[in-house]
Amino acid sequence: MASAAVPRFPPGFLWGVSTSAHQIEGGADERAPSVWDAFTAEPGRVRDGSTAAVACDHYHRYREDVALLRDLGVGAYRFSVSWPRAESPGGLGFYDRLVDELCAAGVRPVPTLFHWDLPLALEETGGWLRRATAEEFARYAGRVADHLGDRVRTWITLNEPAEHTLLGHALGVHAPGRALLLDALPAAHHQLLAHGLAVRALRAVGITDVGIANSHGPVWPASQDPEDTAAAELYDLLLNRLFADPLLLGRYPEELAELLPDGAAADLETIAEPLDWYGVNYYAPTKVGAPRGTETVHSGLRLPAGLPFSVREIEGYPRTDYGWPVVPEALTALLTGFRERYGDRLPPVVITENGCSYEGVDDQERIAFLAAHIRALHAAVEAGVDVRGYFVWSLLDNFEWAEGYTRRFGLVHVDRETLERTPKASYAWFREVLRAQR
């Protein structure tokens, strides 16, 4: 199939797949609770009423899952460490076993230290709205790195502080369920500070390969009408520049200064601690226009009337099952735009997540989606962006947050009754892609 062809990437390019702890592990009664356990216990929070208490039971089936990774032939596996598990007695032992299994399979482990599952005890003292949580995170990061650092070279601090701020703290549709609208920005600042402090903690135990995984995407104005372009610019500030500017330029966008905690500027030096690479999670562009003065619903997401922008449907592109538009060329534009804006301050880029939700095991749409995005990534490489890796979201169908088990992002199907793993057509296709790149 012509549309599944993939060009050759530079030697040493890192191919992988990604998951996160809360979405696959299960084993919830063998660790302390996280904000997601509390959130999903409240009725009405998750579309299918499910929880991740069992999820894919990866906690007990990790050997089988590592065998799937080995047979797939990926160079690397991005997973996350559950902070509440790491703080529970014996909890780091699980990651010891996982890392050893990965190393034996010849797959590089790439842990993310925070993928949204804050220990509930920390939420109860203020969570990400409290500065001290950033210091707690750095201590935890240092402890985990000290423990696994002899076998793990590559580390990721945070996953998508932008989405965790927006969905978890501004809109309240994710844990911890706070609906603070623009008053959520302290949560963004404290995550960025946590990142910078963690980079220092990792360096202190000898780690030399550190990145972050940020959610980014082009923002398209709904029209050239000044009210629409101004709203789109604000959205771009909140999604893209609020995170990339302090990390890469050591400054916050001026327009957002008054929404940040007092004294935030004094933390910029910490936040801008140099990175070895910059991780980008890309799914889709967003079309944004002036506020409409009423609640709007977009891809199942309710946006309250009080926001200073509204999100519009992108027409004229195919959509995934989730309703997200499929726009691979926006990935090229995103990366060339980054290169233009950040210049030599932009370290090598790794795509730490890209993928789509479709039903079925004969998932030809997923193959077409991934192939088109990999080609779009190659176009960015040809345009001079230094891209070093690409990770598919996700290895397994898993707990898709507020959507529960109703969205399937995996290369491997997971039966919800038996938890049996069945590689999809996209798994076989990706294995051939990887083989051809060797």
Cβ 212 vs Cβ 195: under 8 Å: yes
Q: 33 to 92, contacts with ligand GBH by CB under 6 A?
A: none
Distance in Å, CB of 299 to ligand GBH, minimum: 4
Number of residues that this document lists for the chain? 438
Site mask for ligand GBH (CB under 6 A), range 390-409, x = bound: ---x------x--------x
Distance in Å, CB of 80 to ligand GBH, minimum: 9
Distance in Å, CB of 431 to ligand GBH, minimum: 22
Three-state DSSP at 369 gives helix
23 appears as a binding residue in the annotation: yes
**Closer of 358 and 393 to ligand GBH (Cβ):** 393
115 appears as a binding residue in the annotation: yes
**Closer of 272 and 350 to ligand GBH (Cβ):** 350
Distance in Å, CB of 379 to ligand GBH, minimum: 21
Cβ 6 vs Cβ 100: under 8 Å: no
**Closer of 74 and 268 to ligand GBH (Cβ):** 74
Q: 310 to 349, contacts with ligand GBH by CB under 6 A?
A: 324-325
* Residue 284 binds ligand GBH (CB under 6 A): yes
Cβ 337 vs Cβ 383: under 8 Å: no
Contacts of 250 (CB under 8 A, 6+ apart): 268, 269, 271, 272
Cβ 111 vs Cβ 79: under 8 Å: yes
In DSSP notation, 215-233 reads E---EEESSSSHHHHHHHH
The window from 133-141, 196-204, 269-277, 282-290 that contacts ligand GBH (CB under 6 A) reads 282-290
Residue at 32: amino acid letter = A
283 appears as a binding residue in the annotation: yes
Three-state DSSP at 73 gives coil
401 appears as a binding residue in the annotation: yes
Distance in Å, CB of 271 to ligand GBH, minimum: 21
**Closer of 270 and 390 to ligand GBH (Cβ):** 390
**Closer of 126 and 300 to ligand GBH (Cβ):** 300
The kind and range of the H/E element at 278 are strand 278-281
Catalytic residues: 160, 353
Among 39, 283, 338, 369, binds ligand GBH (CB under 6 A): 283
Three-state DSSP at 250 gives coil
**Closer of 142 and 289 to ligand GBH (Cβ):** 289
Q: Residue with structure tokens 């999809």?
A: 424
Count CB neighbours of 10 within 10 A: 11
DSSP-derived letter for residue 414 is E
Count of positions on this chain that bind ligand GBH (CB under 6 A): 18
Contacts of 413 (CB under 8 A, 6+ apart): 361, 397, 421, 422, 423, 424
Q: 352 to 391, contacts with ligand GBH by CB under 6 A?
A: 353
Q: 161 to 190, contacts with ligand GBH by CB under 6 A?
A: 163
Q: CA-CA distance, 253 to 243, in Å (whole number)?
A: 9
Instruction: Please give the sequence-ordered ranges of beta strands (E in DSSP) within 89-194, or none if there are none.
Output: 108-114, 154-159
Distance in Å, CB of 11 to ligand GBH, minimum: 29
Name which of 116, 111, 122, 219 is nearest 160 in CA terms.
Answer: 116
Distance in Å, CB of 321 to ligand GBH, minimum: 12
Q: 204 to 243, contacts with ligand GBH by CB under 6 A?
A: 215
Among 40, 82, 133, 159, binds ligand GBH (CB under 6 A): 159
Among 88, 299, 336, 437, binds ligand GBH (CB under 6 A): 299
Q: CA-CA distance, 368 to 407, in Å (whole number)?
A: 18
Residue at 392: amino acid letter = V
Count CB neighbours of 187 within 10 A: 25
The window from 156-164, 175-183, 360-368, 382-390 that contacts ligand GBH (CB under 6 A) reads 156-164
Q: CA-CA distance, 259 to 255, in Å (whole number)?
A: 9
The window from 52-60, 132-140, 155-163, 412-420 that contacts ligand GBH (CB under 6 A) reads 155-163
**Chain residues that interact with ligand GBH, rule: CB under 6 A:** 20, 23, 159-160, 163, 215, 281, 283-284, 286, 298-299, 324-325, 353, 393, 400, 409
Residues contributing to the annotated binding site for substrate: 23, 115, 159, 283, 393, 400-401
